Amino acid sequence: MSKKYFTDRDHTVMMEYYDFLDSEQRTPAKTEKKMQGFITKDPTFLDPYLILFELYQSKPNIEKAQEVLEQAYQIAIKTITDRKGNWPNEIPWGHLENRHIIRTLLNMAINLWVKGENKGALDLLRKLLRSNPRDNIGARSYILAIRLGMKFDEFEIKMMSKEGYYDGMKMMKFEEKMKDFPDEFAWWFETTKEYS
């Protein structure tokens, strides 16, 4: 039987990690070395893997990027699932300790989508949405985009503002199409009535 509610443990390297991200003297080489150091100190704190993933993608060293994301993903899955592989019912974003795990799972879902592995991407995104219906990460929009046959790059172009962020108004208008997929979202509309 799966755990009902998941909260990850504290990670002592987290504050040091955020302090480094706030520093102004970040070169790619220094960032890579620092992230590898954080992983050595605590291999189960996953945000440093995600920084390395981005860094290796930009080099580009796609093979190394995929490898480091896969490592983080496997740790995330092992951390949250029970012996039978069941996810917990809830992994709340509201707990700061959970965010590195949620970000890792989201990065893997988007990575699968980019590679055209939509079935795997949808599976992960659905689990993320179910385990956190407040959906702080926007899983529902990604699910909707995949169901509409969109590619990730196409979705990004349509939803981005000139400043390079998701445009809230565009997203709200886009999400009106969720009603066209009751098989996918009826449960979500019902669940989130209490949040309104």
31-76 residue pLDDT tens:
999 999 999 999 999 999 999 999 999 989 999 999 999 999 999 9
Please give the pLDDT value at position 165.
Answer: 85
Q: In this structure, what token pair is assigned to residue 180?
A: 């066209």
d(CA 108, CA 167): 23
The answer, yes or no, to whether residue 196 has pLDDT greater than 70, is: no
Average pLDDT of the segment spanning 141-147: 98
DSSP states along 11-31: -TTHHHHHHHHH-S---HHHH
User: Which value, to the nearest 10 degrees, does the dihedral of the CA atoms of residues 152, 153, 155, 157 take?
Assistant: 160
The DSSP code for 176 is G
Q: What is the C-alpha to C-alpha distance for residues 196 and 191, in angstroms, rounded to an integer?
A: 10
Q: What is the pTM of this model?
A: 0.93
**pLDDT, position 1:** 40
d(CA 125, CA 131): 10
Taking the C-alpha atoms of residue 176 and residue 151, their distance in angstroms, rounded to an integer, is 19
What ranges do the domains of the chain cover? 1-115, 121-196
